[in-house]
Amino acid sequence: MSNAAPGYQAVLSGAGALTLSWDVVSVHGPDAQRYLQGQLSQDISGLVAGASVWSLVLQPQGKLVALVRAYRRSGEEFLLVTDAGVGPALVERLKRFLLRTKAEVEEIAWRAVSVRGPAADIASAGRAGAAGEALCAVPFSWGGLVGYDLFGDEPLPPAGALVASVEEYEAARIEAGFPRHGAELDERTIPAEAGLVEASVSFTKGCYTGQELIARIDARGSHVPRRLRGFLLEGPAQPGSALHELPSLDAKVAGRLTSVARSPRFGWVALGYASRGVELGQRLYAGTGEGFVASEVRLLPLAPS
């Protein structure tokens, strides 16, 4: 691994800290747990204070509103942490079914310090911000990328954490296969095609809004028209680039890139969707305006050959 990317190395094997933007929605009140149990795809009935689970908030038709970390802050309050910009739509969706329920839904205008890496110990995380405020530490784990996020008005990085850049983190995010709203995820996303179901859906918890599409696809063997995949690129390409089966604009389009970064371990890496029938290891070609860049389709999370 290159020594020229210390923040990237810290995120993967130590503790790296950076500022990422998240939206935080609070659902609180005597009926908060009962209400969310009918709105989230994950079972939160056994969630203890200080713990979190990945979950989906879905449209009634089963497509995605938000991928969230559902964090139990106290007996009657849950925080739903999601990507920046998704909060307003999440609040609107949750309030839509809030009739005759003793719970309130509101977005909290917090800042965040994100800490990633196996040495990012949430148990010893600093819980005081710059003004002495108590902070909220929400765990994070996806595809081998681990850590936590400190939320508050003025959170501070923990002592000993190395500063990582957004670019270094982006390479690690892509390698882990963690999808982001605005890139891999939007309101048209079917959860099964983005690889969200295994981490964020309970099939034993009972009914919730949007459940029918999830259950139907699972019963049919999770066959969807496309799948989120990793790509190893032989050069740079732009997010949004179409992936062709041959290096020709006339060749069949078999996918599209959604995120691209330069990885110290792998070179150019990307996330994107590959059409059904595209096999792991297959070569696809991204148009660049100056020609084509070859790519290899890989399973997520990315791992050395």
pLDDT at position 128 is 58
CA distance 24 to 27: 10
Instruction: For 3-37, write each residue's pLDDT tens digit.
Output: 569 999 999 999 999 999 999 999 999 999 999 99
Print the SS3 string covering the chain.
Answer: CCCCCHHHHHHHHCCEEECCCEEEEEEECCCHHHHHHCCECCCCCCCCCCCEEEEEEECCCCCEEEEEEEEEEECCEEEEEEECCCHHHHHHHHHHCCCCCCCEEEEECCEEEEEECCCCCHHHCCCECCCCCECEEEEEEECCEEEEEEEECCCCCCCCCEECCHHHHHHHHHHHCCCCECCCECCCCCHHHHCCHHHHCCCCCCCCCCHHHHHHHHHCCCCCCEEEEEEEECCCCCCCCEEECCCCCCCCEEEEEEEEEEECCCEEEEEEEEECCCCCCCEEEEECCCCEEEEEEECCCCCCC
| Cβ contacts of 41 within 8 Å, gap of 6 or more | 55, 56, 57, 58, 191, 200, 201, 202, 208, 210, 211, 214
Give the mean pLDDT per block of 10 residues along the chain (305 residues).
80 96 98 98 96 97 97 97 98 95 97 95 72 84 97 91 97 98 97 96 95 92 91 98 97 98 97 97 94 97 87
Instruction: For 91-126, write each residue's pLDDT tens digit.
Output: 999 999 998 999 999 999 999 999 999 999 888 776
**In this structure, are residues 235 and 293 in contact, taking their beta carbons and an 8 Å threshold?**
yes
Backbone angles phi, psi at 178, to 5 degrees: -85, 115
Full set of structural domains in the chain with CATH: 6-176 (3.30.1360.120), 226-298 (2.40.30.110)
pLDDT at position 120 is 92
pLDDT at position 220 is 83
Which is nearest to 105 in space by CA: 140, 139, 65, 133? 65
